[in-house]
Amino acid sequence: MISHPIQLSITKRYGKATILDGIELSLQRGEIFGLLGPSGSGKTTLVKLLCGIEEATEGSVQVFEERMPDLKLMKRIGYMAQSDALYVELTAKENLEFFASISGVKRAECKERIQDVMKLVDLEQHLNKKVEAYSGGMKRRLSLAIALLHNPDILLLDEPTVGIDPALRQKIWDTFEELRKKGVLILVTTHVMDEADRCTRLGLIREGKLIAVGSPDQLKTNTQTTTIEQAFLTYGG
Ligand SMILES: Nc1ncnc2c1ncn2[C@@H]1O[C@H](COP(=O)(O)OP(=O)(O)OP(=O)(O)O)[C@@H](O)[C@H]1O
């Protein structure tokens, strides 16, 4: 059994700028790992390294013991980028069918999977609508549906709930919790503190450095604070 589906030890530079500085992390099955940090701290860059869109300058990213980037691993990863990568001139259904075909969803299962994920994000009534007629929040939800479509073992979600109303956000987090219980590893970046509290572990990132890792309770206890926000500020000095 592979105990750590994701192992990384990396430094990432763009030109002379060090964006991620000596980050070491092992992520396990069945956890929701939240990456928390100010704008520009390197969260998106880290997610891109994990899904093989970017390569480390030093060190390596291993997913299921294979060095990333590795095309065949993409079928086991569900990725939701910070900006939606959708074909707006197509309908939601056409988008889903396209992504299903490239992520290896079997033809016989495709229709049912599309219905399941669209129900989950509360968009089943809008399946045949062109994406250009979707609101920002609807596009976000469709992107999430696409990330979930092929039942991936790892979900990498960059601010998945931006623009989504509180009731649906709650429902989406309940789904994350269900997937987690089934052994899916979920990594999520967020700015929302109540979401941080729903993660099983958090990594606090600041100026490209991982300044603390632990469960929300551990981080609060270690800093003798009562909220993640306060804990973050204490760790950040
Ligand atoms: N392709 C690139 N070339 C040069 N610099 C980049 C590139 N991509 C990101 N950066 C820089 O890397 C730093 C980290 O960016 P990143 O998008 O990872 O931050 P973030 O923590 O995700 O921010 P936010 O919360 O605002 O999304 C920023 O200073 C950004 O300008």
Q: What is the mean pLDDT of residues 20-46?
A: 95
Count how many domains the chain has: 1
Which residue has a Cα nearest atom 4 of ligand 1?
A: 14
Does 49 score more than 90 pLDDT? yes
What is the four-CA torsion angle of 138, 147, 5, 43, rounded to 10 degrees? -40
Across 8-12, 107-111, 192-196, 215-219, least confident range = 192-196
- Name the residue among 103, 127, 130 with its Cα closest to residue 117: 127
CATH number of the domain within which 59 lies: 3.40.50.300
User: Which residues lie closer than 8 Å to 201 by C-beta, 6 or more apart?
Assistant: 31, 32, 33, 34, 213, 214, 215
More confident residue, 82 or 30: 30
Answer for the pair 41, 206: CB distance below 8 angstroms, yes or no: yes
Which residue's alpha carbon is at the smallest distance from atom 18 of ligand 1? 42
Indicate whether 1 pLDDT > 60: no
143 lines ligand 1 (CB under 6 A): no
Parallel, antiparallel or unpaired: strands 154-158 and 77-80: parallel
pLDDT at 219 over 90: yes
Confidence of residue 213 (pLDDT cuts 50, 70, 90): very high
Q: What is the per-residue pLDDT for 209?
A: 95
- Which residue's C-alpha comes closest to atom 31 of ligand 1? 40
Q: For a pocket test of ligand 1, which of 10, 16, 19, 190 has the largest count of ligand atoms closer than 8 A to its C-beta?
A: 19
Q: Which residue has the higher pLDDT, 166 or 71?
A: 166
In a domain, 14, yes or no: yes
* Mean pLDDT to the nearest integer, 97-117: 92
Q: Whose CA is nearest to atom 25 of ligand 1?
A: 39
CA atoms within 13 A on the CB side of 40: 3
Residue-level pLDDT at 237: 74
DSSP 54-113: S--SEEEEEETTEESS-GGGGGGEEEE-SS----TTSBHHHHHHHHHHHTT--HHHHHHH
Helix pair angle (136-148, 107-120), 10° resolution: 140
Distance CA 215, CA 197 (A): 9
Q: Is residue 1 part of a domain?
A: no
- What does the alpha-carbon distance between residue 191 and residue 217 come to, in Å, rounded to a whole number? 18
Give the model's confidence band at 3: pLDDT under 50 very low, under 70 low, under 90 confident, else very high.
low
The answer to whether the beta carbons of residues 190 and 158 sit under 8 Å apart is no
| Per-residue model confidence as pLDDT tens digits over 164-212 | 888 888 988 998 999 999 999 999 998 888 889 999 999 999 999 999 9
Within the chain, residue ranges assigned H as helices are 43-50, 92-102, 107-120, 136-148, 166-181, 193-196, 216-223, 228-235
Does 26 fall in a domain? yes
Q: Which residue has the tokens 């606090």?
A: 204
16 CB under 6 A from ligand 1? no
Cβ of 40 below 6 Å from ligand 1: yes
What is the Å distance from ligand 1's center to 4 Cα? 27
Range of the domain at 65: 6-235
Res 6: pLDDT: 94
Please give the distance, rounded to the nearest whole angstrom, from the Cα atom of residue 44 to the centre of ligand 1.
7
Using alpha carbons, select from 120, 28, 131 the residue that is nearest to residue 89: 131
The yes-or-no verdict on residue 138 having pLDDT over 60 is yes
pLDDT band at 225 (very low <50, low <70, confident <90, very high): very high
Q: Which residue has the tokens 């940090």?
A: 37
